[in-house]
């Protein structure tokens, strides 16, 4: 359980400068739509959860520091130099975050010295990537029209002392890191190194993952666009299998350890008959197994669509011993194994089968953000700028409980967020698909 102490955000020092945005917040008090900078955002959002803490005073209950502009800031905008880096895999909205950070710095804080480091953390080590570029409002004006990131990206760790040396050499005061959990661990290491050297460098993260598996930040940006695109593939699969004899479609979507994309994509159009995710074990064989249940569904309805998160079923195939550049275990090909098992089972039972396989994979993470995600990216970026200019460091911006808040990096990288088999999301999936509650 997270404690109040763990949720305290590090600061670089006293805020002495009047914020250019002080007039915006001078007379605002906490209300249903805004949290004052002196207030806190509670983790517990039900009476039972709060009551379980007994007689703990409200001032000691775990809570987040709220996001948003402050009356006073730590950095002098006229002298502040900023760096931005994007790391890890692609995700819808990366360019939206870059654009919003640049515009907020230029237009509201008057910070005009902004450097974009190329190709992830490699770009922060001299000689490992193309030279950095200067970011201006004119440069970022149209970058949201494309997916991906104009700064490029990379995976894998780099030499942290060399990165900090380079930041010092370039006189960077603020570094914005846009990336996943591995990237946030890197940001934490950079912040730790800077603090150990007593350097006033703010390191602020805007966490991204289309898997939506980073805890305590609410929904991650890009997730909504990703599952909407995945839903289009599921709809296409439904059209294909309905036009075939014994049609079965298998749609594999991203989701290494968390099945959020599979769940939300399946709920988006009610075209899925089965959703397989890493968090819910299942068997292929047996009376209640997937194969028998699938044959029954095809007999009853003429076709079926299976939505498969890439990390599902790994316990049913030999474990992989390979790892990628980020240290993640390379997943086995359960999708291929599943298709072979389906084909064999239908043949053994003399049932007709037309099997179709769909893998939108990397396509769903490389598209531009949709309108809702674009708005979310903008608001996250603005909150990140407010935090950095106020001297916050070693933290990420999130939206827990639908309130923008500051979350220490050390907390968000401690665990991963997963679909809870006892939660309302999985219940909604079972209701939508009518798949058996238990296939084990």
Per-residue confidence (pLDDT) for residue 174, from 0 to 100 = 98
Per-residue confidence (pLDDT) for residue 305, from 0 to 100 = 98
Task: Give me the percent of the chain exceeding a pLDDT of 70.
Answer: 99
CA-to-CA dists, residue 413 to 42, 213, 330, angstroms: 20, 10, 20
Per-residue confidence (pLDDT) for residue 45, from 0 to 100 = 87
pLDDT digits (tens, 9 = 90+) for 376-414: 999 999 999 999 999 999 999 999 989 999 999 999 999
- Considering Cα of 256, then 260, then 265, then 271, what sign does the dihedral take? positive
Active-site amino acid positions: 211
The residue among 376, 393, 50, 85 whose CA lies nearest residue 212 is 376
User: How does residue 324 score in pLDDT terms, banded at 50, 70 and 90?
Assistant: low
CATH number of 224-365+421-433, picked from 2.60.40.10, 3.40.50.920, 3.30.2270.10, 3.40.50.460: 3.40.50.460
Buried b (16+ CB within 10 A) or exposed e, 401-437: eebbbbbbbbbbbeeebbbeeeeeebeebeebbebbe
Per-residue confidence (pLDDT) for residue 154, from 0 to 100 = 86
What tokens appear for 301 in the block?
């309805």
The span from the CA of 222 to the CA of 124, in Å, is 25
Per-residue confidence (pLDDT) for residue 27, from 0 to 100 = 81
Per-residue confidence (pLDDT) for residue 326, from 0 to 100 = 60
The residue among 371, 376, 414 whose CA lies nearest residue 67 is 376
Topology match between the domains 5-221+369-403 and 224-365+421-433: yes
The arithmetic mean of pLDDT across residues 293-298, rounded, is 96
The arithmetic mean of pLDDT across residues 95-119, rounded, is 97
Question: Which of left, alpha, beta for 265 (phi over 0: left; psi -120 to 50: alpha)?
Answer: alpha
pLDDT at 325 over 70: no
Burial classification of residue 196, based on how many CB atoms lie within 10 Å of its CB (0-12 exposed, 13-18 middle, 19 or more buried) = exposed
**Mean pLDDT, all residues of the chain:** 93
Q: Which fold has domain 5-221+369-403?
A: Rossmann fold (3.40.50)
User: How does residue 157 score in pLDDT terms, banded at 50, 70 and 90?
Assistant: confident
pLDDT digits (tens, 9 = 90+) for 297-310: 999 999 999 999 99
The arithmetic mean of pLDDT across residues 137-152, rounded, is 95
Per-residue confidence (pLDDT) for residue 128, from 0 to 100 = 87
Domain boundaries, the chain: 5-221+369-403, 224-365+421-433
Q: Report the range of poorest mean pLDDT among 55-64, 261-270, 392-401.
A: 55-64
Binding residues for ATP: 89, 155-156, 180-183
Binding residues for substrate: 209-211, 254-256, 310, 362-365
Binding residues for Mg(2+): 181
Per-residue confidence (pLDDT) for residue 327, from 0 to 100 = 64
Predicted TM-score (pTM) of the model is 0.92
pLDDT at 275 over 70: yes
Binding residues: 89, 155-156, 180-183, 209-211, 254-256, 310, 362-365
């Amino acid at each position: 359980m997270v404690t109040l102490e763990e949720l305290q955000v590090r600061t670089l020092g006293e805020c002495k400068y009047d914020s250019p945005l002080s007039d915006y917040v001078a007379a605002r008090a906490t209300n249903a739509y805004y949290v004052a900078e002196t207030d806190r955002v509670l983790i517990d959002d039900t009476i039972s959860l709060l009551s379980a803490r007994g007689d703990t005073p409200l001032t000691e209950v775990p809570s987040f520091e709220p996001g948003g502009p402050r009356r006073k800031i730590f950095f002098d905008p006229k002298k502040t130099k900023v760096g931005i880096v994007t790391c890890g895999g692609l995700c819808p909205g990366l360019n939206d975050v870059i654009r919003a950070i640049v515009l907020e710095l230029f237009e509201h804080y008057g910070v005009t010295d902004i450097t974009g480091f190329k190709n992830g953390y490699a770009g922060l080590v001299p000689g490992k990537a193309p030279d950095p570029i200067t970011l201006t409002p004119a440069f970022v004006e149209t970058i949201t029209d494309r997916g991906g990131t104009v700064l490029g990206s990379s995976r894998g760790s780099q030499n942290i002392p060399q990165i900090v040396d380079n930041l010092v050499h370039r006189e960077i005061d603020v570094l914005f890191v846009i990336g996943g959990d591995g990237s946030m661990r890197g940001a934490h290491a950079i912040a730790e190194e800077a603090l150990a050297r007593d350097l006033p460098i703010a390191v602020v993260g805007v966490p991204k993952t289309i898997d939506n598996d980073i805890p305590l930040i609410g929904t991650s940006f890009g997730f909504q666009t990703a599952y909407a695109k995945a839903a289009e593939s599921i709809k296409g699969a439904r059209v294909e299998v309905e036009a075939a004899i014994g049609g079965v479609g298998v749609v594999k979507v991203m989701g290494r350890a968390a099945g959020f994309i599979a769940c939300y994509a399946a709920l988006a159009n009610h075209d899925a008959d089965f959703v397989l995710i890493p968090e819910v074990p299942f068997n292929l064989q047996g009376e209640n197994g997937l194969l028998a249940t699938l044959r029954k569904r095809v007999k009853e309805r003429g076709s079926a669509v299976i939505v498969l998160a890439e990390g599902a079923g790994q316990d049913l195939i030999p474990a992989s011993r390979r790892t990628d550049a980020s240290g993640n275990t390379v997943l086995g090909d359960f999708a291929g194994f599943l298709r072979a098992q389906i084909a064999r089972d239908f043949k053994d039972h003399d049932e007709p089968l037309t099997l179709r396989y769909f893998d939108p994979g990397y396509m769903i993470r490389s598209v531009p953000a949709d309108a809702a995600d674009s708005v979310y990216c903008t608001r996250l970026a603005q909150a990140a700028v407010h935090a950095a200019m106020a001297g916050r460091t070693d933290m990420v911006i999130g939206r827990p409980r639908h309130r923008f808040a500051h979350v220490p990096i050390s907390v968000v990288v401690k665990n991963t967020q997963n679909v809870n088999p006892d939660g309302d999301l999985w219940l909604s999936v079972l209701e939508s698909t009518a798949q058996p509650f238990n296939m084990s």
